[in-house]
Amino acid sequence: HGPVGLVHVDAHADTSDVVLGERIGHGTPFRRCVEEGLLDCSRVVQIGLRGWQVCLRGSGYSADSYAWSRAQGFRVVQVEECWFKSLAPLMEEVRGQMGGGPVYLSFDIDALDPGFAPGTGTPEIAGLTPIQGVEIIRGCRGLNLVGCDLVEVSPPYDTTGNTALTGANLLFEMLCVLPNVKYL
Ligand SMILES: [Mn+2]
């Protein structure tokens, strides 16, 4: 596809250079993507970012992750901009940003509030609601989506199974907005 646009939904930017001494890890993928020329950086949006504890702890994570994102041309929508409102208007803007080029959708379950999805390794309070998650995914309808994922569901922490239920339903929503899906 060449460089793709990216709709990244997450509590964390995942743009660190090195985490706990490792360049390849769950906190570094989008730094590596930029280095490898995989992203059309003016068509990247990161939604739901917070993760204050990780920044303050400073345990190998970078505190300036959002500044680095913005310096690449990413749009950063911190979670405070999402509180108490529908994200349908935001997604209208995102569709304008993405245009008709190829887009990848990456959804980290920890973007949601841990009250809804506690089964994950780095929970952060004050997150998105499942309704907002669905609004984001449905807001991708009409984009040239070329791929998508749902990451960071951790069964050992998911004592009720509710996180898996929510993750599975978000994946179903993604299948419903993928273009060119052959319905059997
Ligand atoms: Mn995350």
Give me the mean pLDDT over the 15-42 stretch: 95
Query: What is the CA(173)–ligand 1 centre distance, in A?
Result: 20
Distance in Å, CA 65 to ligand 1 centroid: 13
How many other CB atoms are there within 10 angstroms of residue 41's CB atom? 16
Q: What are phi and psi of 65, to 5 degrees?
A: -60, -40
At 39 the three-state DSSP class reads strand
Domain with residue 67: its CATH number is 3.40.800.10
Q: What is the pLDDT of residue 57?
A: 47
Rounded to the nearest angstrom, the distance between the alpha carbon of 109 and the centre of ligand 1 is 7
For residue 96, being part of any structural domain is answered with yes
Whole-prediction pTM value? 0.93
Q: 122 CA distance to ligand 1 centroid (A)?
A: 7
Looking at the predicted structure, is the pLDDT value of residue 169 above 70?
Answer: yes
Residue 119 domain flag: yes
Whether 183 is in a domain gets the answer: no
Cα of 23 to ligand 1 centre, how many Å? Answer: 16
pLDDT of residue 178: 94
pLDDT of residue 74: 98
Residue 154 within a domain: yes
pLDDT digits (tens, 9 = 90+) for 30-76: 999 999 999 999 999 999 999 765 554 444 455 566 999 999 999 99
Domain that holds residue 94: 4-177
| 46 lies in some domain | yes
Read off the pLDDT of each residue in 158-166 and give the average, rounded to a whole number: 97
- The closest of 174, 44, 163, 154 to 107, measured between CA atoms, is 174
Rg for the chain, CA atoms, rounded: 16
Number of domains in the chain: 1
Q: Which residues surround ligand 1, an ion (CB under 5 A)?
A: 10-12, 108, 110
Contacting residues for 152 by C-beta, under 8 A, at least 6 apart: 26, 108, 109, 110, 120, 121, 122
